[in-house]
Amino acid sequence: MIFGVRRASLFVASLALVVIVAPVAAQQPFSAADLVELRAVTEAVISPDGTLVAGTVNRQRPAGDDAGASYSELLVWDVATGTARPFVSGQVAVREVQWSPDGRRISFLQKRGSDERTQVWTIAVDGGEAVALTKAASDVIDYRWRPDGTGLAYIAETPATEREKELKKKGTTLSSTRRTSSTATSTCRCWPPTVTAPTQSS
C-alpha cells in the first residue's frame, strides 16, 4: 500500500506539469486562437488505495460561448496505465474534488441543472449519474467527509434576508457591516439529518 501511494504521489506530480497545446507539439507559432486548445490540470487527489487519481482539467471557453470563467471538467486517471476517463465534462465548473473514505465515490462542488446554488455532488467510481448530497439554501463553499463515510459537514454562505433580496432587485445593497464577522458570512452544517448520506452500492 505504501508503494502504491508513493507511486500515485509521483503520478500526481507529473500531472501538475501537464499542459496540452496542440500547436506547440506541431511546432507551429502560438496564436490567440490556440488558447481554446489549452488544457491544464488544476486539482489532483489520490484515492484511498492509491490506484486512481481524481482531478480537474481547465479548458478555455470557445469564442462563441458566453463570457465567463474557463470550464473545469472532472477526470479520473489510472495510476498503473496513465489513462484518463472523463466523469463530468462539457460546459461545467467542477471544483473541490474529494474521495469518499471508502474510495467508492468522488465528491465535488458544482452548480448543476436548475439549481442556481453550488452544492456537493457525488458520483460512483464504477459509473452512473452524479447525485446531489446537499440541498443548501445558499452556495456551499467548502466541505469535508465524515471519517466513516456516512455523511459530511459543509460551510455555506448565509442566505440573504428578505430585505436584502428586495434591495438587490432595486440595485442597492445594505451596509457591509452586517457581514463583517465570520459567523455572519458563513454557516456550518454537519452530519445527517442535515445532509443525506450517499446510498452504498452493493
Residue 36 vs residues 25, 68, 115, 158: alpha-carbon distances, Å: 15, 14, 28, 36
The model's pTM is 0.69
Mean pLDDT of the chain: 75
Asked whether residue 23 is assigned to any structural domain, the reply reads yes
Strands (E), 47-90: 52-59, 71-78, 84-88
- Domain assignment present for residue 105? The answer is yes
Number of domains the chain contains? 1
C-alpha cell at 7: 507511486
Is residue 162 in a domain?
no
For residue 33, what are the domain limits? 2-135
Dihedral of the CA atoms 19, 25, 27, 32 (nearest 10)?
A: -40
Per-residue model confidence as pLDDT tens digits over 154-198: 998 877 777 777 777 777 655 443 433 333 345 666 645 444 444
Asked, for residue 45, whether it belongs to a domain, the answer is yes
Residue 48 located in a structural domain: yes
User: How much of the chain exceeds pLDDT 90, in percent?
Assistant: 36
Give the dihedral of Cα atoms 32, 37, 38, 41; nearest 10 deg. Answer: 170
Left if phi > 0, otherwise alpha if psi is -120 to 50, otherwise beta: which for 27?
Answer: left
CATH number for the domain spanning 86: value is 2.40.128
Residue 188 within a domain: no
Classify residue 28: in a domain, yes or no: yes
In a domain, 167, yes or no: no
